[in-house]
Structure 1
Amino acid sequence: MIIGYASLMCGRFALFTPLERLARKVGASVPEQKVVFRYNVAPGTWITAVRQASENEPPVIDQMWWGYRPRWAKSTGNQPINARVETVATNAYFKSAFARHRCLIPADGWYEWIKDTKPKQPHYLCRKDRKPLFFAGIFAEREDGSLGCAIITEPARGSATDVHDRMPLILDDASLEHWLAPDLTDRETIRSMVHHLDADLIEHWPVSTLVNKPVEGQGEELINPA
């Protein structure tokens, strides 16, 4: 079980953009299932992700377990929910997925907590224009055959530094196709073709401490300014 969400680098987010809109954005077919609006998505749950299995096939919107543990690690392996951008391409646990199994995790915003506050004070971070975000992620097949993923994080930029020293790696629109491309495997080529979103597009505000309890706090009121 993953615990201590509030101390993680990127441990909670919201997704309420309809799947049809997300599918159009990434060129994927619209899945039959409808997105369940979630305002407090926590680790250790099924989340919406975008992946591309072959360069000759369009991306697909899938459900992945938020917790990365490749099949070879067995059930006793670590199950991280984040991977650091500084080491994801070279760390033995992640490098194969970085080269061949990259994904996008769509979100409307994410939460971080101000340090040394009691109770922990969450802030909601999102685009100023309220467009959906696409976090860079990696995934692997788990021991049970399902897919599990981790969100890549980078040092905080822009106003996000007010809240935390890390943030999810958010890709700009021009990078989405390159990030998903399964034939793009070279680290330096990926680095030259994939870029993060302009930090000036992000803003944040304090929200209810109900976010601290994912079982109890789930409504749309969670993203309202406190």
Structure 2
Amino acid sequence: MCGRFALFTPLDQLAKMVGATVPEQEVRPRYNVAPGTWIAAVHQTSETEAPIIGEMWWGYRPRWAQSTGNQPINARVETVATNAYFKSAFSKHRCLIPVDGWYEWIKDSKPKQPHYICRKDRGPLFFAGIFAERDDGSLGCAIVTEPGRGSAAEVHDRMPLILDGDSLEHWLAPDITDRETIKQMVRHIDASLIEHWPVSTKVNKPSEGQSEELINPA
């Protein structure tokens, strides 16, 4: 799964990587992003327009579900295309969630021991996501997850679906709606590019702040 991440690469740099329009305002670095907050996300409204980097609420709840509907933060790649709650978004409303790394916790550790997981070269990552318009008119998203791979599987049996560079354009493309076509055109990154290390248990509480020290090895 993915329930916490860090993003500190400037948005203008991320925009260049995905050919998106540069947002008017910069977003401050965040080292402990929690669900139920506004996060940066990339989406494309039409095939003739450039992608947009904007804010989405980390919590997916389509308008038709109204305010009483579930608000998941993750969607499993095995069922996202067929689950009634997600399949319309998978077909028509896919997005990218840029991050510099994410956190997972060692199972049954006491106190809960977080690990920071990122690229070995420290470059940004792009998680596959889906989004929908919420009942208040804002956009809400969920991160697509897959079974853990490589060193990430040492920490948790699930991980975000991280797309390789050649897949970003296809994932965003609003004209690609067929499940099998998406499956053939989209690939996750090589698991050998990922590493992790234990970090401070301060990560366990988002209220501890957004200090860069949170990603330092414990």
Post-superposition shift, 1:217? Answer: 3.5
Select 2:132's aligned residue among 131, 140, 143.
Answer: 140
Within 1, Cα distance between the matches of 2:66 and 2:122?
Answer: 40
Select 1:93's aligned residue among 68, 85, 98.
Answer: 85
Within 2, Cα distance between the matches of 1:178 and 1:131?
Answer: 21
Count of residues paired in the alignment: 218
Counterpart of 1:215 in 2: which secondary structure? helix
1:1-226 paired onto structure 2 within 5 Å: 9-226=1-218
Q: Which runs of 5+ in 1 are unaligned?
A: 1-8
Identity of aligned residues (%): 82
After TM superposition, the runs of 4+ consecutive aligned structure 1 residues lying more than 4 A away are none
Within 1, Cα distance between the matches of 2:151 and 2:209?
Answer: 25
Q: State the Cα RMSD in Å.
A: 0.4
Post-superposition shift, 1:106? Answer: 0.1
Post-superposition shift, 1:216? Answer: 1.2
CA deviation map 1:194-220 (0-9, x unaligned): 000100000000000000000114200
Within 1, Cα distance between the matches of 2:133 and 2:93?
Answer: 10
Within 1, Cα distance between the matches of 2:92 and 2:153?
Answer: 31
Post-superposition shift, 1:107? Answer: 0.0
TM-score between the two structures when normalised by the length of structure 1:
0.96
Q: Which runs of 5+ in 2 are unaligned?
A: none
Post-superposition shift, 1:36? Answer: 1.0
